[in-house]
């Protein structure tokens, strides 16, 4: 809409000018601010405990985990999962763990664990691809001790067709 200014005969391409309010129009009620809260009832931000960070572990005691060496002859192909998770390593790796007395892991270097049914495939792959100094060694840990610290390993699970897990040390129960 074009509009004319007083005293000039030209039209300007601007929006219409604001009009003065009508005399009979009602005025809007004044906006009131809520009253300030009483300092006695308002919580103190410094007394509220901060949210707890997720528990991160970098090692576990091998005696508390129930770490034990497993003889390869006792693992049968027909048996299903049990209450343990298994790790395949070398004799030197197991000796290091037992000498330290702890099982060390992190997010960047997680410990790979599998169920009983995945040990045979892991052993076969390890014997085929890795140059081993000696025979591989299998140890197991109690699953309920590390269950909250595990995350699924989709790459190995897809490659072997059996569930594999990564022991990263981040407590997943608090999520």
For residue 126, report the phi and psi dihedrals to the nearest 5 degrees: -65, -40
If pLDDT is split at 50, 70 and 90, which confidence band does 126 have?
confident
Averaged pLDDT of the chain: 78
C-alpha dihedral sign at 110, 115, 116, 120: negative
- Residue 111 pLDDT > 80, yes or no? yes
Q: Which helix (H) or strand (E) holds 91?
A: helix 91-100
Region of 83 (left: φ > 0; alpha: ψ -120 to 50; beta: rest) is alpha
The CA-atom distances, in angstroms, between 175 and each of 45, 54, 170 are 24, 8, 10
Q: What is the CA radius of gyration of the chain?
A: 35
- Residue 25 pLDDT > 60, yes or no? no
The mean per-residue pLDDT over the stretch 156-161 comes to: 88
- Give dist(CA 149, CA 170) in Å, integer: 5
Residue 32: the pLDDT is: 73
Residue 51: the pLDDT is: 65
Residue 54: the pLDDT is: 61
pLDDT digits (tens, 9 = 90+) for 60-97: 898 888 888 998 878 776 666 688 999 999 888 889 99
pTM of the model: 0.64
Strands of 150-152's sheet in order across: 68-70, 137-142, 84-89, 111-114, 164-167, 150-152
């Amino acid at each position: 809409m074009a509009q004319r200014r007083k005293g000039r005969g030209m039209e300007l391409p601007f929006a219409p000018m604001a009009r003065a309010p009508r005399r009979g129009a009602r005025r809007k009620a004044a906006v009131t601010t809520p009253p300030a809260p009483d300092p006695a009832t308002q919580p103190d931000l410094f007394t509220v405990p901060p949210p707890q960070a997720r528990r991160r572990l970098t090692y576990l005691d091998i005696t508390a985990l129930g770490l034990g060496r497993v003889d390869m002859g006792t693992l049968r192909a027909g048996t299903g999962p049990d209450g343990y998770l298994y790790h395949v390593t070398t004799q030197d790796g197991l000796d290091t763990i037992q000498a330290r007395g702890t099982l060390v892991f992190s997010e960047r270097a997680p410990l790979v664990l599998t169920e009983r049914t995945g040990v045979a495939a892991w052993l076969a792959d390890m014997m085929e691809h890795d140059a081993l100094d000696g025979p591989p060694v299998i140890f197991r840990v109690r699953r309920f001790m590390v269950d909250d610290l595990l995350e699924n390993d989709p790459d190995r699970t897809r490659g072997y067709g059996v569930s594999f897990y990564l022991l990263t040390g981040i407590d997943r129960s608090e999520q």
